[in-house]
A and B are shown apart, each in its own frame.
Chain A
Amino acid sequence: DTEVTQTPKHLVMGMTNKKSLKCEQHMGHRAMYWYKQKAKKPPELMFVYSYEKLSINESVPSRFSPECPNSSLLNLHLHALQPEDSALYLCASRAGGTDTQYFGPGTRLTVL
């Protein structure tokens, strides 16, 4: 099973809403990633978790709050987003000692 799942597939939210994106993998990977991808652009790294600890935060605004409650699950909590935060949010996971990241299908987020 090389699948990374993400829910929801689509999300529309207002600027005052609080919502969460969920990412799950059961491959035993201990590194997990959040990326943001705007239309016609490549993915941009947001956060990296290694062994459930935040190891990299690419200067992401605090309205994005990641959480890794266990080795299979990665959440991204959203609060007070702006319309320019509308994008495809991708999750990826990687096995230790390898350089291959497995990407989920993404959550298409629209902020009104």
Chain B
Amino acid sequence: TQLLEQSPQFLSIQEGENLTVYCNSSSVFSSLQWYRQEPGEGPVLLVTVVTGGEVKKLKRLTFQFGDARKDSSLHITAAQPGDTGLYLCAGVSAGAGSYQLTFGKGTKLSVIP
């Protein structure tokens, strides 16, 4: 069974601070995705990382994929209250024409004004 460990589970920070969320896997996935989910809504895809060592930036968000493609991190610079939400990493498994997601437990981020 492929597992994704995500940490921390909860994070409460002041506006303007930086933070990092970690996602570690026991095995290699085809790719790894990060989602953000707001209360009462479905997850929204932020980024997909595929290649070991890959770094992607989305405004103040920086996503890294480890060289061995087993771990990933999300770094937010100068957090804003609008960044508040549940951040989920998900490993993508591809096989027989089907793609399945294995989600980490999520990181609930609160950014206090």
Contacts and interface: CB of A to CB of B under 8 A. Distances in A.
A59 interface: no
B106 A42 contact: yes
Contacts, number: 59
B48 A42 contact: no
Nearest to A40: B108
Contacts of A40: 106, 108
Interface residues on B, range: 20 to 34
A77 interface: no
Contact of A42 (B45, B94, B99, B105): B105
B92 interface: yes
B31 A106 contact: no
Contact of B100 (A42, A56, A98, A103): A56
Contact of B40 (A50, A102, A105): A105
A16 B103 CA distance: 32
A55 B106 contact: no
Interface in B62-113: 88, 92, 94, 96-101, 103-106, 108
A42 B9 CA distance: 11
A46 B50 CA distance: 25
A65 to B, nearest CB: 21
Given A42-B105, A96-B97, 8 more contacts: A42-B88, A43-B43, A56-B100, A99-B33, A100-B48, A101-B45, A103-B44, A108-B40
Interface of B: 30-31, 33, 40-45, 48, 88, 92, 94, 96-101, 103-106, 108
Interface of A: 4, 31, 40-45, 48, 50, 55-56, 88, 90, 92, 94, 96, 98-106, 108
30 contacts: A40-B106, A40-B108, A41-B106, A42-B103, A42-B104, A43-B101, A43-B103, A44-B103, A45-B100, A48-B98, A55-B96, A55-B98, A56-B100, A88-B40, A90-B43, A96-B97, A99-B31, A99-B33, A99-B48, A99-B94, A99-B99, A101-B45, A101-B101, A102-B45, A103-B42, A104-B42, A105-B41, A105-B42, A106-B40, A106-B42
